[in-house]
Structure formats: structure tokens, C-alpha cells
Structure 1
């Protein structure tokens, strides 16, 4: 395994069996020059990625300690979730973490308006984000806002092998927040986000959007739907009001069965 390029003291590009690979290891490049042999015992991670060029560019542009702390977060996440993440996580998370550290050190804080929704919808990923925030705080002695836990959680979620598209996840989460704010205002209610009925409705709305997008819908008996519509007419009218607003703004169509389920969740929320 020959050294082809040094990115920093802990990351190098090597040639292994005619394949370019990125090798990571503590002090792996110390005292080395191009074409030197690499001690494989020093290799902690070896990347053979479709996006090797992007990874090489990233390693050349961000501080090596930013990449290493991102790798620690990724390792923690994979252990916590019990699954491997997409290889693309090594690029997107390192890039995000590096940028976050730099702007925080410059006194720039970006609040995450979707914090509460992310905390509810992606509990495990959010817990990982909280760990990551604390880890960065300790390593850099900087005041990392908890909003960063939500940003990291979304990256972790969408990099799970079946996590979904990052932009679509953001879009759905933002729409859910918009619907919840509208409903609470219309109902003149102030409910904490840790309330179980609040969390159930947030979760249902999120998966409703996912099902509508993928044409995977819960079916409800027509007679049962009529009963719900008549018995909980106030909640049903509120359901119509919020869903028609979303349909008008985003073009998302809600079938009758989903209107029935949302009505039941709103009725439950009213009893808090």
C-alpha cells in the first residue's frame, strides 16, 4: 500500500491493488513522502467511495480535527443505531460540522425552527445530536447551541440506508410545523411539545405526508368516516381548514381516510 497524497497528518490517499483509497489513522502521514509504504497497523479507517474525489477535496479544505471529530460522531451514531450509515455521511457531516464550528467561533448562531418537531420525529437521531453537541463543546470549549443537535439529527436520519431524501425530510418537517402552529392558534391552545397527544399528532402528520407522497395510505371504512365526521364536527372542520390550506400552498392532496385520522388526533388534543 503506497502513499499517493498527504491531506494532513492523519489522512492520506493511498494506492492499494491499483485502487485509490483514503486512509485515516492517528499520525499515519508523519515523516512520510509520496510513494512511501504505509504501515497498515496505523490505519483506523479505509474508504473506497464512489465520491472519493469529493472526499479528497473536503480533506484538503477543512481542518483535520474537524474531520476526525465528525468521524467520532459517525462511529457513535452507527453503534447507537446498530446500523451502517451511507458512505456519503463522511462528506456531508464533516462539511456541516466544520462549518458549524467555524461560524460558532465567529459568534454566528443559526436557530433551528424545526427543533421541537425533529426531537419528536427522530428521537434516536436527536439523542445522537445531543451527544455530538456535548462532545464538540468539550473538545473545543465553545458554546454550541442545542439547535445543532437537530441539524446533526437530520443528517444522520437521511444517511441511514433507508432514511430518505434530506430536502424532502426538511420539507415535510416544515409543513408539519406549519400545520401544528395553525391548529394550536385556531384552538387557542398552548401545549408543551412533550405532551403525548401533541407528539402523536406531530408523528401522524409526518407519516401522513410520507404516505401521501408514496401513495401508501391508511384505509378507513366509509361508515366509520361518516361517524367521525358527524360526531366530531368541530375537529373535522378544523381538519378541513388546515389540510385545504396545505393543499392550496403545496399541492398535497389528503384523502378522506387521512382526514378522519387527523380529526381523531385533533379531538384527542382538545382534551389535554
Structure 2
């Protein structure tokens, strides 16, 4: 903090204190930084590990720091630090609340014998690969440090929190809605093609990613016309079943969101579906 003496406003626990720095209140985190300290005591600069400036969320974060076990707080912070290093970008301040709060809830559920499930797991794996890989690291870290075994589903939950915490990616609700919508679209393909898409490997992955980009293009009103009319006619006639499924997907998207898919977009989705249908007929 620039070498100037900073005094404690409030001690949250042995490892977290609130200070005033300029006009802002900040939370300083460090092992033993609040031990046997009180208001107006100077902060030991050498013990500072992290500084949070969270004007809007400070009361909630203070409450978390007061009520949760230190090991949960430290684990959450380790996951966040690892994620920022791996993704080479800062995450929103709110991630300190969302990850720690979620982690505490997940660990409590496991201790009480409740299962952790994630119905969007397959879609999360395909859409948020980097975040999911970090989620898997977090699950292994929790097992190693806390001796608590969490399922792969939990890695998916952590991945969603990390993706949402990327600056300018919208809210957790937006992320969940998009992922859930893609799951609905995949289910339409599964029902019409009578197969489990998650078993299709790369073809499934390509379809999920294409659907995600198609939805983003529609939201941003970007014109997608990268398919000439002759090619589109060929897809409509030669791959009629795949095109009909793609058209049904487009209708579903329009009904649920009001977003239109242009015919070339539907044609490309049909090609992805055709690849899956071809794989099925070969197996």
C-alpha cells in the first residue's frame, strides 16, 4: 500500500481486516494479520497477501469472512488466484463472494451426505473448456488439501462461476440461461436422431460450440450468409432429415428467445447434425 501506515477499521477474523485507504474501505487478507489486533492498530505490511476493493459487496464479503471456516476462504482464494493466472485475465471482484459462498455450500452438502449434481455438465465441458479444466484442478486441490472428495459435477459448477466472473460476460443468470438453452437444443437432436449426443465426441462438441456462436451472432444481429444458395438447396434435399432437425431448432430458439436464425445458419447447423447422423449409421 505504497509504504504509508494503514490503520485497521475493523477486525473480521485473525486473517482479515478492514482498512480505509484514501476514500475507500478495503479488505486486507493475510495469515495472522488480525491476530490480537484492534481498531486503529497499524497493519503489518509484510503479512498482506491480498487486498480487495469491493465497495458494493463489502458487507456480504465481511459476513462470509466472519462466518466461514478459514480453510474454505483460503481454498476459494487459491482457486481464484490459479484461475486468473491460467486465464491471464482479472476476474470481477464479485467472484470472491460467489466462489467462496458456493464452495462453502458444496462442502456442507457433501458433509451432510447430499449428492452434488450438474445437469448442464456435458454442455459446460464443451462450451467452457478452460474454466472446466480449472474446475477439475480445484476439485483435485480440495481433495488433496481438505481430504474431501467432490464429483466432476462440482468442477462444472466452479467453471460456470469462473466464466461469469470474466469481465463483460453477463450475469450468472445469463450464463445459465444460455447453457440451458443449448442443452434443450441438443435434446431436440437426440430425440429426433434417437441417440446420446454426449457419446459422439468431437461431432457433439462441434455442434455445441456452433450453436453457441449462432446464438451470439443472432443476439448481436450479425448477418450470417456464408453459404451460397446452391449449397443450401443441396443440404435441404440431400440431408433432409438433418435440415428438418436444424429447422426445428431454429423454431425453438425463436419461440424461446425471439432470436431469428437465417437460412444459411440453419444450413450449417444441418451439416453438423448430418455428421452426427452419418457417424450413427456407420456404428
User: Which TM class, normalised by the smaller chain length?
Assistant: over 0.9
Q: Which moved more, 1:65-74 or 1:190-199?
A: 190-199
Deviations 1:214-246 (A, max 9, x none): 222422333432232223222111222233234
Alignment of structure 1 residues 25-174 onto 2, 5 Å: 25-51=30-56, 52-174=58-180
Q: 1:230 aligns to what? A: 237
Structure 1 stretches of 4+ moved >6 Å: none
Whole-Å separation in 2 of the counterparts to 1:37 and 1:233: 74
What does residue 7 of structure 1 align with?
12
Aligned with 1:22: secondary structure? Answer: strand
- TM-score, normalized by length of structure 1? 0.93
Deviations 1:37-83 (A, max 9, x none): 11111101111223233322332232232211100000000111111
Q: Conserved in 1, the CA contact under 8 Å of 2:182 and 2:208? A: yes
RMSD: 1.8
Tell me the CA shift for residue 93 of structure 1.
Answer: 0.9
Q: Is the contact made by 1:116 and 1:193 (CA closer than 8 Å) also made in structure 2?
A: no
1:265 to 260, 268, 272: 272
Distance 1:173 1:19, change over 3 A: closer
**How far, CA to CA, are the matches of 2:29 and 2:76 in structure 1?**
13
How far apart are the structure 1 equivalents of 2:154 and 2:37? 37
Q: Is the 8 A contact 2:122 2:198 kept in 1?
A: no
Mind listing any 5+ residue stretches in structure 1 that lack a counterpart? none
Q: Any conservation in 1 of the 2:13–2:35 contact (CA below 8 Å)?
A: no
Are residues 1:203 and 2:182 paired?
A: no
Q: What SS does the aligned partner of 2:25 have? A: strand
Q: TM-score, normalised by structure 2?
A: 0.89
Corresponding residue to 1:183 among 189, 205, 227: 189
CA separation in 2, counterparts of 1:103 and 1:245?
36
Q: How far has the Cα of 1:26 moved from its partner? A: 0.6
- Shift of residue 268 of structure 1? 1.2
- Rounded to whole Å, the distance in 1 between the matches of 2:91 and 2:125 is 20
Q: 1:249 to 1:85 in 2, by over 3 A?
A: closer
| CA-to-aligned-CA distance 1:78-119 (integer Å, 9 cap, x gap) | 111111111111111111111111111111223101111101
